Amino acid sequence: MRHRRKKQELGRSTGHRKALVASLVGNLIDHKRILTTLTKAKVAQRAAEKLVTIARTGTLTARRSVLSVLRQEKHVTQLFNEIVAQFDGRHGATPGSSRSAPVQATARKWRFWSGWESSHVNAGKRRRQRRRTSSPDYLDNSLAYSALWS
């Protein structure tokens, strides 16, 4: 049974949809940033995250399965050599995206989809480190309070 197995079909046949996703993810790997509609970005982001997860193993089987989706060897090589190297020691591989203004003629929602740039990849690490290194104010007050009574 197909309960909760909904997918975005994008108004295309299966072959056309697979080619579209391969093209979007390939262009993201090449150019590090693309402009596409919101729905296409969500579909391609899901595929890109799965491909990065597969590519992180670095095996020949992983390379072949990524090649079967992306269909171009240069994109697979870039993914395995450049992009996966940025995610050493991290659990997630989510590309960042930001929405742009709707186009007046069609009122479609567009999205700037920036790929795995180093600034976006390391943003979470910096935030966590900043949180850990700064000591809260109440700790300083409690130390002063304990020194007063000892």
Note the pTM of the prediction, 2 decimals.
0.68
Superfamily of domain 14-149 in the CATH hierarchy: Ribosomal protein L17 (3.90.1030.10)
> What is the identity of the amino acid at 96?
G
Cβ atoms of 112 and 27 closer than 8 Å: no
Q: How does residue 42 score in pLDDT terms, banded at 50, 70 and 90?
A: confident
Average pLDDT over residues 57-72: 95
Q: Which of 60, 8, 64, 63 lies closest to 36 in space, CA to CA?
A: 8
The ranges assigned to domains in the chain are 14-149
Q: For 70-118, how does the pLDDT look when each residue is reduced to its tens digit (9 = 90+)?
A: 999 999 999 999 988 887 777 665 656 666 666 666 666 777 767 665 4
Q: Which of 25, 41, 13, 37 lies closest to 108 in space, CA to CA?
A: 37
Pick the residue with more confidence: 148 or 11?
11
**Most confidently modeled range among 20-24, 85-89, 125-129, 136-140:** 20-24
Query: At residue 111, what are phi and psi to the nearest 5 degrees?
Result: -140, 130
Percentage of residues in the chain having pLDDT higher than 90: 33
CA 9 to chain centre: 21
pLDDT for 120 beyond 50: no
What are residue 26's DSSP bridge partners? Answer: none
Q: 32-46, 50-64, 135-149 — which is least confidently predicted?
A: 135-149
Average pLDDT over residues 51-58: 92
DSSP string covering 121-133: HTHHHHHHHHHHH
Question: CA-to-CA distance for 7 and 121, rounded, in angstroms?
Answer: 28
Continuous segment of H or E residues that includes residue 31: helix 14-31
